[in-house]
Amino acid sequence: MPPRLFSYGHGAAICDSQMHVNLPNSGSSMTTPPFTPLIASLSSSVPFVGPETLERSRGRPFAARLGANENGFGPAPSVIAAMQAAAGDVWKYGDPENHALKETIAAHLGVSTRNIAIGPGVDCLLGLVVRQYVNPGDAVINSLGGYPTFNYHVAGFGGRLVTVPYRNDRGDLGALLDAVRRENAPLVYLANPDNPMGTWLEAEAIQSFIEALPETTLFILDEAYGETAPASAIPPLDVERPNVLRMRTFSKAYGLAGMRCGYAVGAGEQIAAFDKIRDHFGVSRMTQVAALAALADQAYLHHVVGEIAAARQRIEKIATANGLQAIPSATNFVAIDCGRDGAFARRVLEELIERDIFVRKPAAPVLDRCIRVSVGPRAELDLIEERLPLALAAADKPA
């Protein structure tokens, strides 16, 4: 059987959860330098259990990698060619100002370079934002089951996470706003489209939420899946509003998850603050080359967004053929309602892993009835189509 994985309270679940790690004990009685009280209070855990970790535990690779929210169709051939041409320059540090990439992103969005901050993935930028705005003990608002890496940073900087349940598998904007006001929270987070459910809210609702927020509360609007979302879900950019930061990435539609490049879009003063604490060499030279080439090839982006949509439809058909319901998705994955409780969905996930299919699932109550399947090439979807009925049958057997 697959190794036991541990959920973490409000995180996103088996394989989407923090994994507890036993730290080595030398057995020595020697006095050691003390950790800060904050670090000493934290569990030894990570927000995601990677497929590589599971493969090492299992002693064999997965046949289908459909659980990491990656774009299995990969980057454009033009991006790979640009990286190959630049390989000889990897002895050089990347431009610490990310000048060319910042100019290109700004032109692509129709904003100024002063409105763009670039970092090694949205995950890193989230940590920088928490560090800038959250004092120890401050309340920070997220949905119950929302993106666990954000929660990881809140804990790591001493914030107090306050969560509200999803409503109809979507973030509940009214409840989030109520929590912000009740807790006088300096920070609130929402992913739209959502992770882990793939659902989305319309731009009009997001805009109303923004306008209702206290001016002293910063809103992180994570649009990592913006390129795969309907246009109606993305509010117009407003870089004059100082309490909104929009997060975007090259990891999803552009197929560059392994290169680690994300960016924040916001008001100039808020963007400038990143320079006070960011790792100025955090975005490698090769990553900058890849991101520039990806932005230049919008024709491939359009093509791959179509491939992602077709793969979502295939996953939905596979779910329906097995008597399950796919949650409508605007991302590069589909949440599948297994029709029962979280324990049954967990058994389905474990049986798929046993059959060499890597998927994940949410952990929060109500959401935990689902498994989550990323888009991928036809051959990998063929495998889950073949093996999901077997996993369901095995999960249905008495223990």
| pLDDT tens-place values along the chain, 399 residues long | 333 333 323 333 344 544 444 445 555 578 889 999 999 998 887 777 889 999 999 999 999 999 999 999 999 999 999 999 999 999 999 999 999 999 999 999 999 999 999 999 999 999 999 999 999 999 999 999 999 999 999 999 999 999 999 999 999 999 999 999 999 999 999 999 999 999 999 999 999 999 999 999 999 999 999 999 999 999 999 999 999 999 999 999 999 999 999 999 999 999 999 999 999 999 999 999 999 999 999 999 999 999 999 999 999 999 999 999 999 999 999 999 999 999 999 999 999 999 999 999 999 999 999 999 999 999 999 999 999 999 999 999 876
Could you give the number of structural domains in the chain?
2
- What's the distance, Cα to Cα, between the start and end of the chain in Å? 13
Is residue 141 located within the same domain as residue 230? yes
* Alpha carbons 355 and 300: distance in angstroms, whole number: 33
Quick one: 222 and 137 in the same domain? yes
Show which of 297, 321, 336 is a domain's final residue: 297
Indicate if 37 and 151 belong to the same structural domain. no
Verify that 68 and 180 share a domain, yes or no: no
Any domain includes 190 = yes
Question: Are residues 166 and 276 both part of a single domain?
Answer: yes
Q: How far apart are CA 97 and CA 69, in angstroms?
A: 29
Query: Does residue 214 contact residue 242 with C-beta atoms inside 8 Å?
Result: no
Same domain for 247 and 124, yes or no, is: yes
Pair 152, 273 in one domain: yes
Structure-block tokens of residue 214: 């206290």
- What does the DSSP 8-state code read for residue 14? T
116 DSSP 8-state letter:
E
Domain end, chosen from 263, 297, 331, is at 297
Token pair listed for 344: 């049954």
What is the reported pLDDT for 9?
32
CATH number at residue 171: 3.40.640.10
For residues 66 and 185, state if they share a domain: no
CATH number, domain at 382?
A: 3.90.1150.10
* 292 and 148 part of one domain: yes
Q: Looking at the domain assignment, is residue 101 inside a domain?
A: yes
Q: What is the pLDDT of residue 47?
A: 76
pTM: 0.91
Question: DSSP class of residue 50?
Answer: -
Domain assignment of residue 80, yes or no: no
Peptide bond into 24 cis (omega under 30): no
Residue 153 and residue 228 share a domain: yes
Per the structure, the complete domain to which residue 141 belongs is given by 90-297
Judgement on whether residues 113 and 238 belong to the same structural domain of the protein: yes
Query: What pLDDT does residue 399 have?
Result: 67
